[in-house]
Amino acid sequence: MAAYKRPIHRSLVLGSAVFIAFMCFLLSIQAYLTYSRSMYERYDDKLDDILNYVTKQVDLDDLYDCVIKGERSEKYNQFQELLNGMVDEFELFYLYSVFVRDKLMINICSATSAEERAKGEEDMPLLDSSDAYPEDELKKFSAAIAKDEISYFEENSEWGYAYTACKPLQNSTGVHFGILCADISINELHKTVHDYVLYNVILSLGLGLLFGLILIVWLRHNVTGPILALEKSARRFAEKSRNKKKDPKDLVFDAPDINTHNEVESLSIAIAQMSKDMKTYVEDILEAEETVKTAQEEAANMTMLAYKDSLTHVGSKIAYDNAARILEKDVTEKLVTEYGIAMIDLNNLKVINDSYGHANGNTYIAGACHIVCTIFRHSPVFRVGGDEFIVILKNSDYENRKELVETTRNKFQETENDYSREPWERFSVAIGIAEYKPGDTVDAVGKRADEAMYQNKLMMKKART
């Protein structure tokens, strides 16, 4: 069996594996985002309730006075006790109120947990300052103080990951003098999210592998297996058909036994039928070979009829090619020493065809050709294209070539400007001539004539504009 760079079975397996991996990746991201968002929303609700409850219990004007005077009041002490109790009751990481000044974190009131008090720790003094906070963290707290809503951010400290909610403290006059912050540990949240995502990845991977296995087995039975069998039979058929000594009886496709009831089975039947049709076709070709040879001979004879253009009755392109070969030979044998070629191209033929129909376009071609033949009556005229004519100038026409060209231009200018005529009778041509020079080929002379005609056409266009 031939070795392929990309066997279809391997491509399907790799494609399935990539698809499964991609789906697992997407599902993992979706699971992480959805579950973590849900968990953070729960923490937001919990911290919002705590901060709103605390701010409702405290006299913010009294607390503002304590900050300004640097002295604790009775209400401040009650606020301290409230924070100490709530930090244990709600299992908070930390519960505190602060403000920022001169790149320092200034304490207003910070909770002390029961565990800390058992170790002999005391409540942090009012207006106690700390320069241990980095500048970017101080900016976050300063921004939170200026807001009118609760801010949230996540921190990674020496005690672990913490999620912080900050509510601005505002007295009755609208002064923002600090923030109330509640920290909660999210180490468990990260672990829960990671475990949940891992579970989803394993589940997705397992389901994907199961799906991929079922898909590959199904494809092997219904697609790739039958295709491989069909490809093997097709290669055997191709080897037999390449035999130089072909025998139509050998052109038989050995169709494999395929019962998939799908497009592969239909393809196998179609190839088998195609091989039968090919066999019949080859047999017909062999039988018709002699007939074809006869037809080719007849076609060669009919080519002679193509020497005359059916519309204008002047020489055709084939006739010109033959005349050019003869002329080339006569020049080589010194039988002809001088001649010229006039290249004539009809103007406006496409406009006539598009505007007035091809019948009038034919009238335009025939009329223009008649004028050319009348002027160059001693030279052969050939129609070599739809709107192109060539005249081989010899003898008296060659001697009077400049006068004949001028006559041609004047005559066609007269017909073009005669507005009493029908549009398809106002003939217009561009003409260019070239003379034979020693060493020239007929083709070289024709090219110079064509270039001269093209220059004449450009001049005519410029004259019209």
pLDDT in tens, 350-371: 999 999 999 999 999 999 999 9
Q: How far apart are CA 181 and CA 137, in angstroms?
A: 13
Q: Is 102 within 8 Å of 193 (Cβ atoms)?
A: no
pTM over 0.75? The answer is no
**φ/ψ of residue 362, rounded to 5:** -65, -40
Are 332 and 425 within one domain?
yes
| Assigned token pair, 17 | 């594996």
Print the domain residue range for 121.
10-192
On whether residue 383 sits in a domain, the answer given is: yes
Q: In this model, does residue 415 exceed pLDDT 80?
A: yes
Q: How far apart are the first and last CA of the chain?
A: 72
Are 280 and 308 within one domain?
no
On whether residue 113 sits in a domain, the answer given is: yes
What is the per-residue pLDDT for 63? 93
Q: How far apart are CA 287 and CA 13, in angstroms?
A: 50
Q: Among the three residues 136, 157, 192, which one is the final residue of a domain in this structure?
A: 192
Q: In this model, does residue 280 exceed pLDDT 80?
A: no
Are 340 and 370 within one domain?
yes
* The total number of structural domains that make up the chain: 3
Q: How, if at all, do strands 160-170 and 340-346 pair?
A: unpaired
Are 153 and 48 within one domain?
yes
Q: What CATH number should be reported for the domain holding residue 98?
A: 3.30.450.20
On whether residue 184 sits in a domain, the answer given is: yes
258 burial via Cβ count (<10 Å: 0-12, 13-18, 19+): buried
Q: In this model, does residue 125 exceed pLDDT 80?
A: yes
DSSP 125: P
What is the per-residue pLDDT for 60? 94
Are 163 and 35 within one domain?
yes
Mean pLDDT across the chain = 84
On whether residue 206 sits in a domain, the answer given is: no
Q: Among the three residues 226, 252, 286, which one is the final residue of a domain in this structure?
A: 286
Residue 209 CB neighbour total at 10 angstroms: 14
What is the per-residue pLDDT for 1? 45
Q: In this model, does residue 456 exceed pLDDT 60?
A: yes
Match 């260019």 to its residue by tokens. 432
